[in-house]
Amino acid sequence: MSPAQRAQQTAATLARKYKTLPELAPGAEAKAVLAAAGWPDSKETVLIVGHQPTLGEVAALLLTSHAAEWSIKKAAVWWLSQRARDGEGAPALRVVLSPDYL
């Protein structure tokens, strides 16, 4: 969870325990966000509430292995997971929901 006020407000609506990590503050590097999430080795489900352009950069890095500034709409949900492919781990995009459909 980003320490930014808006991210904290979003997380509070989920009524779940969460951790605030300075590595997720506005301006964070995509690799730092992935490290904070324990990607790809975490055995737990991780929900990241953060900011643009960082979240777009994280999605681009995971799905293309290249840094890029992808646009992610405010309040959108992106579900990514790690799956085995040819004996190696590969990121998989499961769902993208626009806030219009939430």
CB-based burial label for 87 (10 Å; 0-12, 13-18, 19+) = exposed
Residue 29's Cβ-count burial label (10 Å; 0-12, 13-18, 19+) is: middle
The b/e string for 67-86 (b: 16+ C-beta within 10 A; e otherwise) is eeebebeeebebebeeeeee
Containing structural domain, residue 85: 5-101
Which pLDDT tens digit goes with each residue over 68-77? 999 998 889 9
User: Which of these ranges, 19-23, 36-40, 76-80, 86-90, has the smallest mean pLDDT?
Assistant: 86-90
pTM recorded for the entire structure: 0.85
The residue whose two tokens read 């325990």 is 17
d(CA 42, CA 38) in angstroms, rounded, equals: 5
Question: Using 50, 70 and 90 to split pLDDT, how confident is the model at 91?
Answer: very high
Please give the tally of structural domains in the chain. 1
pLDDT surpasses 90 at 95: yes
